Amino acid sequence: KISEENVKNNFVLIYELLDEVLDFGYPQNSDTGVLKTFITQQGVRPVTREEQTNVTSAVTGQIGWRREGIKYRRNELFLDVIESVNLLMSQQGQVLSTHVAGRVVMKSYLSGMPECKFGINDKITVENRTKTQLDSNNPNNNNSTNPSTTTKTAIAIDDCQFHQCVKLSKFESEHSISFIPPDGEFELMRYRTTKDISLPFRVIPLVREIGRTKMEVKIVVKSNFKPTLIGQKIEIRIPTPPNTCDVQLLCMKGKAKHKSSENAIVWKMKRMGGMKESQLSAEIELLPNDKKKWNRPPISMSFEVPFAPSGFKVRYLKVFEHKLNYSDSETVKWVRYIGKSGLYETRS
């Protein structure tokens, strides 16, 4: 909490921060990772000549997001392609709207000042070419293939953003980027696409109202990915009327329960293989109600699958370090694809 007293108590820390961030009134360094290296809370202390050199290098050098002298016994690089699929589907199975919001998250445990080269799909089009750099504050397969339903070599990206460490000179010509990564975890890239999305699941609802005191609901869930893959953490939420008094459930797989406090039937499955289907049936008893007809909310679904629904594919990931002279083959690299549900809804 900022107060006059707290500012007075932390005067030395604030002064140090301003001294590192500004130079002659101009912002020079706002990277928290670098600032933490040089800021202390023990008050004013004498600075050695070596420390002065390090501070100057970090503030004025080209690699402000990474300090020198980093060493690891084992050089490792973890790369996660994480996509959130958003869908609104009609009761008849027509896609009304869909898009994928993707992130490429990297964990870098590399010695020295390595340069990484990262290549994606053979063909890529970026419709919105404003590649805004992200603020820097903002496993398990060693194989760089995307196991989606179909092997896609092309992807149409509506817009994308990159971390400040990325060099974009060869992005449009070679579909690759090069960068010197920050140490630890950071978001390398963020993108959005609305075209050629492989929808992992389809929900088929069938609702029949019997008079004003009974409903019959049948829900079929189909998986649309390769049989060798497994979807996990699957949950389907089927809304029920507020005047529901009793629910009889029957499901082929998983567990289903009516939660009266949430006015919904919650159907959970731990896992589901590709090209499979499962079914839930429910008989809903209703209390007589004189209020206006209930408008059914959409059925929502959440899940996690081991592929990128947009078709985003990592072609290669290479590491070069010329000073310490360790090769790309000596670096352990892991690439993982994670597809998750965003707002994934089907009208009933």
pLDDT at residue 274 in the model: 97
Q: Are residues 283 and 333 in the same domain?
A: no
Q: Are residues 269 and 294 in the same domain?
A: yes
Mean pLDDT of 102-124: 89
State whether residue 145 is helix, strand or coil.
coil
Mean pLDDT of 33-46: 60
**Would residue 71 count as lying in a domain?**
no
Q: Are residues 81 and 191 in the same domain?
A: yes
Q: Are residues 301 and 311 in the same domain?
A: no
pLDDT at residue 24 in the model: 74
Q: Are residues 116 and 183 in the same domain?
A: yes
**Residues 120 and 78: beta-carbon distance below 8 Å:** no
Q: What is the pTM of this model?
A: 0.75
Residue 59, pLDDT above cutoff 90: no
**Would residue 264 count as lying in a domain?**
yes
The Cα 203–Cα 89 span in angstroms is 9
Q: Which residues contact 337 (CB under 8 A, 6 or more apart)?
A: 80, 81, 83, 146, 147, 306, 307, 308, 312
Q: Which residues contact 33 (CB under 8 A, 6 or more apart)?
A: 65, 66, 67, 136, 182, 183, 184
**Would residue 65 count as lying in a domain?**
no
- Token representation of residue 198: 């492989």
The Cα 299–Cα 302 span in angstroms is 10
**Would residue 68 count as lying in a domain?**
no
**Would residue 56 count as lying in a domain?**
yes
Q: Are residues 158 and 139 in the same domain?
A: yes
Q: Are residues 170 and 125 in the same domain?
A: yes
In the annotated binding site, the residues are: 255, 257, 259, 268, 270
Q: 32: domain range?
A: 4-60
pLDDT at residue 319 in the model: 94
Q: Are residues 89 and 175 in the same domain?
A: yes
**Residues 243 and 316: beta-carbon distance below 8 Å:** no
**Would residue 210 count as lying in a domain?**
yes
pLDDT at residue 300 in the model: 98
State whether residue 330 is helix, strand or coil.
helix
**Would residue 323 count as lying in a domain?**
yes
Q: Are residues 172 and 319 in the same domain?
A: yes
Q: Are residues 80 and 137 in the same domain?
A: yes
Least confident range from 30-39, 129-138, 270-279, 300-309: namely: 129-138
**Would residue 69 count as lying in a domain?**
no
pLDDT at residue 57 in the model: 46
Least confident range from 47-61, 64-78, 207-221: namely: 47-61
- Looking at residue 200, its amino acid is P
Residue 180, pLDDT above cutoff 60: yes
Long-range contacts of 127-130 (CB under 8 A, 24+ apart): 127/156, 127/157, 127/158, 127/159, 128/158, 128/159, 130/159
pLDDT cut 70: percent of the chain above it = 83
Average model confidence (pLDDT) across the chain: 84
Q: Are residues 316 and 187 in the same domain?
A: yes
- What is the domain-level CATH number for residue 285? 2.60.40.1170
pLDDT at residue 327 in the model: 82
Q: Are residues 80 and 194 in the same domain?
A: yes
> How many domains are there within the chain?
3
